[in-house]
Amino acid sequence: MAFNTALSNNLSKCGANPAPVTSRYFSTPPQNAAATCHSKGVGSAVWSEAPEHAKKAGEQHLPRDGAFRNFYNAFMQSFQRLYVAKPILIQEYVAHDPWKVLVAVTLLNKTAGKHAVPVFQSLIAEWPTAKALAQAPPAAILDRIEHLGLGVIRTQRLIKLSQDYLDDPPVPGRLRPSRCYIYICAHDPSTDMDDAGAPTRTSRVRQRYPPTVVSHLPGCGAYALDSYRIFCGHADEWQVVRPTDKELIKYLKWRWAVEKLRQWDSVLGPGAPLCLNYIRDLAAQLEEMNAKMVS
């Protein structure tokens, strides 16, 4: 049900009466067709006949076209597969508490999720608030995280992060300068464009990370800031984030596909509308990523 609702909402943004589309693969239906479609589940649909006075010759032509129906079923089945392959990221699970997101990424940075997430859950179970973790004995924290590597540095950072979060918490609209740098894609507008509308020649330019409301907190590098903006930022902020972390990249590919029906690239941003091969490839990548995370 959630899948059908999400897909219906996204498709409805295109308008209730889209302009006729022609294809060299499928026969073109008459423009005055009045058939309506009632969805009964993923990958299936029931086409009802129009009232007698509205019927025209061939108005059911497109739904009965075998090639179209095969493509439609394949597309819907693949989209459902993509929908349920949503990346499993701890940042989204605790997004209601930005402090927990920052603690999680402190442990996840340069550490596999299958190792870092259980440690994070252990820490939060013992010290569930910023105040509690700020006052925790350093030796007790170190004992829980030392096997992840950089135990002393991470212990000090977690305590200072928690204390600074209490003393100077993030305030919506109050942007702080970031201390880290990122590389962005730049191109000359006069260069040639490929068939998908992307520049054929690009370069990567180093620049300071944009200001955010948490940039002043200890340990907030690009990965932490990307995570905060994707999961805790304002409603549309995730659309302008260009992460380099492979898990965040796959999450945004999934979100752009499911919510916006668009392909997405971590360098160039949103691209062409979805196609069947893209959906299938992305679903396979996400299924593999999720399997590795839970194994």
Identify the CA nearest to 34 among candidates 53, 8, 10: 53
Average pLDDT, the chain: 82
CB 228 within 8 Å of CB 250: no
| Average of per-residue pLDDT across 57-83 | 78
Q: Which of 46-50, 55-59, 117-121, 194-198 has the highest mean pLDDT?
A: 117-121
pLDDT digits (tens, 9 = 90+) for 166-222: 999 999 999 999 999 998 876 655 555 555 555 555 677 889 999 999 999 999 999
The residue count for the chain: 295
Question: For residues 169 and 189, what is the distance between their CA atoms, to the nearest angstrom?
Answer: 41
**What pLDDT score does 92 carry?**
97
| Average of per-residue pLDDT across 15-26 | 45
Residues with Cβ within 8 Å of 78's Cβ and at least 6 positions away in sequence, in order, are 276, 279, 280, 283
pLDDT digits (tens, 9 = 90+) for 75-131: 999 999 999 999 999 999 999 999 999 999 999 998 999 999 999 999 999 999 999
pLDDT band per the 50, 70, 90 thresholds, residue 290: confident
Residue 37 above 60 pLDDT?
no
Hey, what CATH class is 90-294 in? Answer: mainly alpha
**What pLDDT score does 97 carry?**
98
- With a pLDDT cut of 70, the percent of the chain lying above it is 72
Q: What are the φ/ψ torsions at residue 78 (nearest 5 degrees)? A: -70, -40
User: How much is the pTM?
Assistant: 0.75
More confident residue, 290 or 294: 290
| Average of per-residue pLDDT across 48-69 | 54
46 strand-pairing partners: 38
**What pLDDT score does 66 carry?**
76
Lowest mean pLDDT among 42-51, 109-118, 165-174, 232-241: 42-51
